[in-house]
Each structure stands twice: as C-alpha cells, then as structure tokens.
Amino acid sequence: MSQPLIQLRNVTKTYSRGGETLTVLDDLALDMDAGGYFALMGPSGSGKTTLLNLIGGLDRADTGSIRIGEDDLAQMGTGELAEWRSRSVGFVFQGFNLIPVLTARENVELPLLLAPLKGSERKKRAEYALQLVGLADRMNHRPSQLSGGQEQRVAIARAIVTDPTLILADEPTGDLDRASAEQVLELLGKLNGELKKTILMVTHDPHAAECAKTIVHMDKGGLGRIETREPRKPSAAGVAGR
C-alpha cells in the first residue's frame, strides 16, 4: 500500500471554556490504511468524538493536516467540505439520529437528496441499502415502530446509501443490548469485509472493539498503544426479535 487513506499530521484541537483553553488533541499523528477496520478506545473526555468529527469534516482542526486520500480537508472551503463529506463519509451515531416522522426508507433516502437523482432512483438505492442491512420487510416502518437494533441498522443503511469510502461510527452499540449489538457488529464486519469500506468506530466496549482489525487507544489528547490483531467474529446467530 503506497499511501494511507487517512493521514493526520500535527493535529491540534483546543476548546475555550470560561476563559480557559482546553487542549483536546495535542500534536497528533496517525495513519490508517484503506480497507482497515479501526476501533478507537479511551476514557471519557479523551477526545475520541473530537477526532472522529475532524476526520469526517464535521469540525476543523486548529492546526495540522488531515488528508483523506487525495483530499486535504484544511484546504477546503465550507461548501466544498460539506460536499466532500456527503460524498465520502457515512456517519453512524450512538442515538441513531433518525427522523421520527419519516419511514425507514425515507430516512435512508435523505443523504441522496443532495445528489442529482430521480425520485425513483433514490427509492431504489434506499431499498437496496435496507436489504443489505436485512430490513427489506421494515421499509415503511417509522423509527418508533422499530427496535433499537433495527433503528441502528436503518442508520447504517443511511450511512452507506451514498456508497462512501469511509464509515465513521461513534459508539454505535452504546445503546443496544448484547444481541442487537452483535448484529450491528456483524453488519459493520460485512461492510468492511465484503464492501471494502474503511471503518473507524469509537467504542467503550472491549467486546465491540475486538471485532476491529486494529485497536487505537487514546489518552488525554494523545494516542497510546495501537494493537493489530485477528478480529473476533461477531455472532448474532440465534438472536431473537429482529
């Protein structure tokens, strides 16, 4: 592999709070290869979400460079960054962030509204993404009519519907019971293994982190140990209540 997909150099991020400056990321450097599956672990407040948001272009570093493939995020204007984000990154959050009044299919179609597509094509792609996550039979359900695990799988369908290179997931199993968490992990493993998506998942759960190929530990603004390992195969077999 010639060049990593994600390349961070000298990345610093500070926040001001009540006249004080809090350095969240301090001169951080990190490389992540395309096709990788990374778990980011660390204590609360260590800057995991901050780092994920910088890599996903939701926020900007104070200094340093963040390159994703050929793109240098610091060099992009606000509109360009938003356009890059909608094309290149799929986000999955702990709380699912689905729109309650929309059906599963309509939720999944949302990121496609920015693309120049016909309604029928949007619908087709959303249905395909929902099939991939095993929810073809729940397309017309609203979030309140779905279990938490199903809601998260709809959110994953929404994250992949634009066919992004990179999936960023912030504690995607944090609100799920063990069985639903395993289903979500199984799905993320499939996106990485079969669809070749590069995945970066923040998690507090060692059991979830074990499913990644690489575990990156963070502590107080810096990176600690990086473990590369044989991932655990999540097993949702025999899980009741889809």
If one asks whether residue 173 binds ligand ATP (CB under 6 A), the answer comes out as no
Q: Which two tokens stand for residue 59?
A: 């926020």
* Binding partner of 15, given ligand ATP, Mg ion, none, CB within 5-8 angstroms per partner class: ligand ATP
Question: Within positions 27 to 46, which residues make up the interface with ligand ATP, using CB under 6 A?
Answer: 42, 44-46
Residue 145 CB, nearest distance to ligand ATP (Å)?
Answer: 29
The CB-based long-range contact list for 221-227 (8 Å cut-off, 24+ gap) reads 221/23, 221/24, 221/25, 221/26, 221/28, 221/46, 221/47, 222/26, 222/27, 222/28, 223/28, 223/29, 223/30, 224/42
146 versus 215: smaller Cβ distance to ligand ATP: 215
The residue number with the shortest CB distance to Mg ion is: 49
Question: Within positions 46 to 65, which residues make up the interface with Mg ion, using CB under 5 A?
Answer: 49
40 versus 157: smaller Cβ distance to ligand ATP: 40
Rg (CA), the chain: 18
Contact 42, 217 (CB under 8 A): yes
142 versus 204: smaller Cβ distance to ligand ATP: 204
If one asks whether residue 55 binds ligand ATP (CB under 6 A), the answer comes out as no
| The dihedral sign for the CA sequence 116, 106, 136, 37 | positive
Contact residues for Mg ion, defined by CB under 5 A: 49
